[in-house]
Homo-oligomer: A and B are copies of this chain.
Amino acid sequence: MEHRFEPTRFYNAFGPYEPVLEVDDGDTIITTTLDARGKNKEGRKVAERGNPLTGPFYVRGAEAGDTLRVHIDKVLPNRAQGWSRTVIADHVVDAPFVREMPEDVLAHWEMNIERGTATLVDPETDLGRLTLSLAPMLGCLGVAPKRHQAISSATSAEHGGNMDYRALVAGTTVYFPVFEEGALLFTGDGHAIQGDGEIVGTGIEISMDVQLTVHVLKDMKAQWPRGENEDYIFAAGNARPLDQALQHATTEMLRWLESDYSLDHRAASTLLGQCVEYDVGNVFDPAYTVVCKIAKHLLPARN
């Protein structure tokens, strides 16, 4: 079943809040998200800044210990104006180099949705009217956290959250561990495009039309967000420093390869050792995100 849902109440945290909509296992949610500062498709501010979230959506049948499968059917900017920051974050460059960096100003970008491009309008730099191909993604996607916490949409943890991982685009499937009854799915913080690490603290921030399809998995036991697209399966870890995020992601991948692909830790290590790929999700937020991925064509059949 398809649900069209226009949000009016926005949370700035992933938490055990009153659901805005109840859906069934297998349902599709067609909705919208605000940009990171709370502006909608008309550019009107309708929520507090700091990644206001659409949701939570209660998925019937989801219980703590289950896994929620979320297929991203669609992520598309629904207005023409996006913005970004223009200075790499102080904590992403060498500490003394902070003294060399300019003050931050906002950049404005003009979308051409039909052609699939974003063009830099200002400030004036030697980039001129730089035009980039759109690669729309969801900066925030996740469920209510463990231990009944309410965790800011500025950061991430086992429940997903503000992972700012550029592969969360239309066509990607993500799996989240369920901690609360109904899972309580949230999304927001869409980026028309974003580099690895979200190192200026933003992608091209914009409001989005979003469509998600959800399933409750009783037999998958994810401890961290997992996902897949046509070419890869992946697992994400969220923590600081990056080393720990990478440990979480790698460990989660080992668990997955053991349970679903019949690869014990030695077999999985041997394969990953020569073929693993890592992506840096974000190095801007309080928790950093590292993704461990392996090409599907290298894997045995899934159980």
Residues of A within 8 A of B (CB): 12-13, 15, 50, 84-102, 105, 107, 120, 123, 125-127, 130, 132, 146-152, 154, 193-200, 202-204, 239-244, 246-248, 250-251, 254, 262-267, 269-280, 283, 288, 298, 300
Contacts and interface: CB of A to CB of B under 8 A. Distances in A.
A149 B150 contact: yes
Contact of A148 (B12, B88, B250): B12
A147 B94 contact: no
Interface centre among A91, A97, A239, A275 (most CB of B within 10 A): A97
B87 A148 contact: no
Given A90-B95, A147-B152, A272-B88, A277 B130 contact: no
B242 A242 contact: yes
A94 B255 CA distance: 12
A23 B196 CA distance: 40
11 contacts: A90-B99, A91-B247, A92-B246, A94-B248, A99-B99, A126-B264, A194-B274, A199-B250, A199-B272, A200-B270, A200-B273
Contact of A273 (B85, B90, B148, B280): B85
B147 A276 contact: no
B300 A126 contact: yes
B152 A50 contact: no
A274 B202 CA distance: 8
Given A132-B275, A195-B273, A274-B195, A288 B98 contact: no
